Amino acid sequence: MYRANHWSHARHPDRLMIALQRADLALVAEVDGEVVGFVRTMSDGAFAVYIADILVLPDHQRRGVGSDLLRAVLTHYPMSTYHHQVLIAERDADGFYRRMGLSAVGAFGLTAFIRTRDKP
């Protein structure tokens, strides 16, 4: 899944395994017995959840798989209990999250900060 979407995680299988083992929730989507989608989260189990990765195989994108996975995650962490559900959207994926009812932090007068190896 990571390799098919050219994500660098695929080059670090040992670290990826740790990330999967420590996930609060990890779900796959299957079509005809084939895993075509994946999502994992990190959470304190009380207030906040970070949706770390959501990935659909390229041949299965735009068929509702990603929205099924995201809906399952959003439902798993109900807003009646949790304070916020957050994620960092890839440049070309923000339309997907807006479609799913999420808002960019700026809409609340907030700013999200990030420290990363990548240069802006």
Ligand X SMILES: CC(C)(COP(=O)(O)OP(=O)(O)OC[C@H]1O[C@@H](n2cnc3c(N)ncnc32)[C@H](O)[C@@H]1OP(=O)(O)O)[C@@H](O)C(=O)NCCC(=O)NCCS
> Footprint of ligand X on this chain (CB under 6 A)?
5, 54-56, 61-67, 89-90, 92-93, 95-96, 99
Nearest of 41, 32, 39, 46 to residue 83 by alpha carbon? 46
Residue 61: partners with Cβ closer than 8 Å, 6 or more residues away = none
HSE toward the beta carbon, residue 38, CA cutoff 13 A: 16
CA 25 – CA 71 distance, rounded (Å): 13
CB of 82 to ligand X, least distance (A): 19
CB of 101 to ligand X, least distance (A): 11
Residue 36 or 81 with smaller CB distance to ligand X: 36
Residue 92 or 118 with smaller CB distance to ligand X: 92
Residue 46 or 99 with smaller CB distance to ligand X: 99
CB of 54 to ligand X, least distance (A): 5
- Provide the token pair at 104: 């960019």
CB of 51 to ligand X, least distance (A): 8
Residue 100 or 110 with smaller CB distance to ligand X: 100
What does R_g of the chain's alpha carbons equal in angstroms? 15
